[in-house]
Amino acid sequence: MSVTAAKGFTAAGIAAGIKSNGNPDLALVVNTGPRRAAAGVFTSNRVKAAPVVWSQQVLADGELTAVVLNSGGANACTGPQGFQDTHATAEKVAEVLSKQGTDVGAGEIAVASTGLIGVLLPMDKLLPGVEQAAAELSVHGGEKAAIAIKTTDTVHKTSVVTKDGWTVGGMAKGAGMLAPGLATMLVVLTTDADVDAAGLDGALRGATRVTFDRVDSDGCMSTNDTVLLLASGASGTTPAPDEFTEAVRDVCDDLARQLIGDAEGASKDIRIEVINAATEDDAVEVGRSIARNNLLKCAIHGEDPNWGRVLSAIGTTAAAFEPDRLNVAINGVWVCRNGSVGEDRELVDMRFREVTITADLAAGSESAVIWANDLTADYVHENSAYSS
Amino acid sequence: MSVTAAKGFTAAGIAAGIKSNGNPDLALVVNTGPRRAAAGVFTSNRVKAAPVVWSQQVLADGELTAVVLNSGGANACTGPQGFQDTHATAEKVAEVLSKQGTDVGAGEIAVASTGLIGVLLPMDKLLPGVEQAAAELSVHGGEKAAIAIKTTDTVHKTSVVTKDGWTVGGMAKGAGMLAPGLATMLVVLTTDADVDAAGLDGALRGATRVTFDRVDSDGCMSTNDTVLLLASGASGTTPAPDEFTEAVRDVCDDLARQLIGDAEGASKDIRIEVINAATEDDAVEVGRSIARNNLLKCAIHGEDPNWGRVLSAIGTTAAAFEPDRLNVAINGVWVCRNGSVGEDRELVDMRFREVTITADLAAGSESAVIWANDLTADYVHENSAYSS
């Protein structure tokens, strides 16, 4: 049900011709109210795509009426023309929605794009596509919207949590250039809970900090990452803040796991648990260092419990630890104890897709989980094809 | 000629049986004087192998008589037993050299090891190997020593610079886990120049800072990196400090380029020039960020001038720059100007092994060069085999 699981939203997904292969490439999500509160988090990459710059501006007042998303082109590193194109897209959405009776300006329309960096969007196809998408808006359109934002994703990703009288739902795309801050991904979450912009912002930041921000498939940070949360208030229910944050986090966590599970070329999902750290920041730093070690990622691909590569990754961090007190388990077998040889590595069973690496820093009581993928020849092939 | 190009040195390289395939795996380099000054730089990884801990200690007084090196096992993450094994190796070298008439203690012997992490060395093979190597010491032994330290290296690496009456020569190994701080590599440099320990230390640090420390093949920092410089004084000549530093830097630069040229699975050597940076540190940070971007490394492998991935890597740094003033050239074609589309990417010819990426930060006048490799299916295969 995706973004239309919550009451007060319509959506559509169509093929506008932005992708040369004719696949769906344009999605529209509209908040039909009564409330139009919204919050967003965006890539921390300093090179930001035009739609990111635009959407950050229009979100400043905590209100959004609609989100238009395209795959088939990131509109990043496209200069002033790229920003004009984003602006024109928002104007077009406002124009067609106004014709349908929703009085709205471009300043209430967020824009998100994904695809190749450094290429202008084909506006002659995109703008007519907006008209077509608006004509197909439906309370059943969530699935089609989720399909239209796919790039190298092999499956579309949706998630829904329903509580007592209110719902949080969403859709996500992302399969490569997937690393914290956030992952290369577009995510739209919707809720019919009656929550104001400040409440949405707090819940969204709390949720993304421990979900999307802890996904690190390939260490590469995107120019286009966007996560939006829109509230229609259509349920008439205002949940307790903690309960609402938990529901948003559950949807984010589910979508984040779906991103890792569909990462480009990956054959393993690696759950990296860092335990007994002095601080949560230390745990996250160590987890990311392990997640980004290419030699370890290759070893996991080869089902080799090569714990020496885990230690060499930990050793590059500034986290509090003593090298001769480090312990490492792979799938529950403590192959490294006190910085040296532990249980027999032959005991480690790595046949299944999910692999758990536990790094015990023996320096405190904080912990964090980072999700990563292995490094495979398929990843290389998928990303070395010309202008993939 | 390797480490025996300079007068006052003997060396040997033999097969002690540490490697199961019978290839050479033990090297010995001896300074026959008259001077025995030495300096060293070591991995900045906090998880340090036993021989690194040992060699740092014995170098504290600025003197070394010999270096013993083994491939076939890193003796890293091997606990107290690993350190005892390193100590026993140094004791054995001192014993056999003393029998040959060189009065020397274990505290004048550096030890270096390379190979798999987390496995104890077969001392029953290594110690007899030391006796055999000592028996074969020769002023012509430099080449054999360079061959004996190879792991996955396909060729052995040596370099020599001869000046007016004095010489700097050296050998290196390293093909994977190759990243700054230093690369996974063992390097022994020798000179017959008459230079004291402080002079050697200054020259070596000045040279490694701009050579080995700017090699980043795969972003993975080793537990065993060791670069040693030994001076015999046998030429009777004391060069001017600047001239000596330059000669050491030339040998380091040559060896560093040989490491990149032989990196595991690589099909391209990537020269990353960062220009017009506000500071040299900014230039190095940006260069390393580009060097470690897996998506870009895949694109270079595919001969795809994907400059968007260069910009997304620059955007993750804290360096001074404005996104809309960045310029990027690939093999001399300015495919990105002012953060946007520049010259036609079809003009870029990437057929040859060496690829140059120029990143112009337009923020100052400092610069740096980082060398990296592409990411290939061969790298994945070589590093996903069990316990490679």
Least confident range from A65-79, A177-191, A313-327, B324-338: namely A177-191
What distance in Å separates residue B11's CA from the closest CA in chain A? Answer: 31
Q: Is the ipTM of this complex over 0.85?
A: no
CA distance to B6, B63, B75, B158, per residue, from B134 (Å): 19, 20, 22, 21
Distance of alpha carbon A350 from alpha carbon A179, whole angstroms:
24
> Which pLDDT belongs to residue B95?
97
> How confident is the model over A120-137, as a mean pLDDT?
97
pLDDT for residue A83 is more than 70: yes
> How confident is the model over A271-296, as a mean pLDDT?
92
B383 is in an annotated binding site: yes
CA distance to A38, A66, B129, B190, per residue, from A146 (Å): 19, 15, 65, 64
Q: How many CB pairs under 8 A join A and B?
A: 211
Inter-chain residue contact B380 with A380, CB threshold 8 Å: yes
What distance in Å separates residue A139's CA from the closest CA in chain B? Answer: 37
Pull the structure tokens for residue B249: 């830097």
Q: Which residues pair with B296 in a beta bridge?
A: none
Which candidate from A120, A303, A311 shows the least CB-CB separation from B47? A311
What distance in Å separates residue A294's CA from the closest CA in chain B? Answer: 7
Question: With bands split at pLDDT 50, 70 and 90, how would you rate the model's confidence at A211?
Answer: confident
Taking only the tens of pLDDT, chain B with its 388 residues reads 699 999 999 999 999 999 999 999 999 999 999 999 999 888 877 778 899 999 999 999 999 999 999 999 989 888 899 999 999 999 999 999 999 998 899 999 999 998 888 889 999 999 999 999 999 999 999 999 999 998 878 889 888 899 989 999 998 887 655 454 433 678 888 999 999 999 999 999 888 888 887 777 666 667 777 888 989 999 999 999 999 999 999 998 888 888 887 877 889 999 999 999 999 999 999 998 898 888 898 889 989 998 888 988 898 888 999 888 999 999 999 999 998 889 999 999 999 999 999 999 999 999 999 888 888 888 888 878 755 4
A383 is in an annotated binding site: yes
Pull the structure tokens for residue A314: 């930990």
A376 is catalytic: no
Inter-chain residue contact B386 with A304, CB threshold 8 Å: yes
Backbone angles phi, psi at B279, to 5 degrees: -140, 160
Question: With bands split at pLDDT 50, 70 and 90, how would you rate the model's confidence at A180?
Answer: very low
* Structural domains present in chain A: 2-261 (3.60.70.12), 269-384 (3.10.20.340)
Catalytic residues of B: 184
Which candidate from A45, A292, A308 shows the least CB-CB separation from B117? A308
Distance of alpha carbon A45 from alpha carbon B254, whole angstroms:
36
Distance of alpha carbon B63 from alpha carbon B168, whole angstroms:
18
Which candidate from A221, A314, A386 shows the least CB-CB separation from B47? A314
- Residues A29-44 have pLDDT tens digits of 999 999 999 998 888 7
- To test the contact with chain A by mutation, choose from B151, B220, B325, B355 the residue with the greatest count of A C-beta atoms within 10 A, namely B220
- Annotated catalytic residue, options A78, A114, A158, A184: A184
Please provide the average confidence, as pLDDT, over all residues in chain A. 89
> Which pLDDT belongs to residue A48?
83
> Which pLDDT belongs to residue B118?
81
Distance of alpha carbon B290 from alpha carbon B311, whole angstroms:
9
B373 is in an annotated binding site: no
| Preceding peptide of A34 cis, ω within 30° | yes
Spell out the SS3 assignment of A297-343. Answer: HHHHHCCCCCHHHHHHHHCCCCCCCCHHHCEEEECCEEEEECCEECC
Give A52's contacts (C-beta < 8 A, 6+ positions apart). Answer: A42, A43, A112, A223, A224, A225, A226
| Pairing mode of beta strands B9-14, A226-231 | unpaired
- Chain B residues lying within 8 Å of A270, measured CB to CB: none
Inter-chain residue contact B339 with A47, CB threshold 8 Å: yes
pLDDT for residue A181 is more than 60: no
> Which pLDDT belongs to residue B181?
41
What distance in Å separates residue A221's CA from the closest CA in chain B? Answer: 7
- Chain A residues lying within 8 Å of B117, measured CB to CB: 306, 308-309, 311-312
- Residues A54-80 have pLDDT tens digits of 999 999 999 999 999 999 998 988 889
Q: Which residue of A has its CA nearest to B378?
A: A377
Higher pLDDT, B334 or A221: B334
Query: Is A293 in contact with A184 (CB distance < 8 Å)?
Result: no
Distance of alpha carbon B182 from alpha carbon B212, whole angstroms:
6
Inter-chain residue contact B312 with A117, CB threshold 8 Å: yes
Distance of alpha carbon A92 from alpha carbon A101, whole angstroms:
14
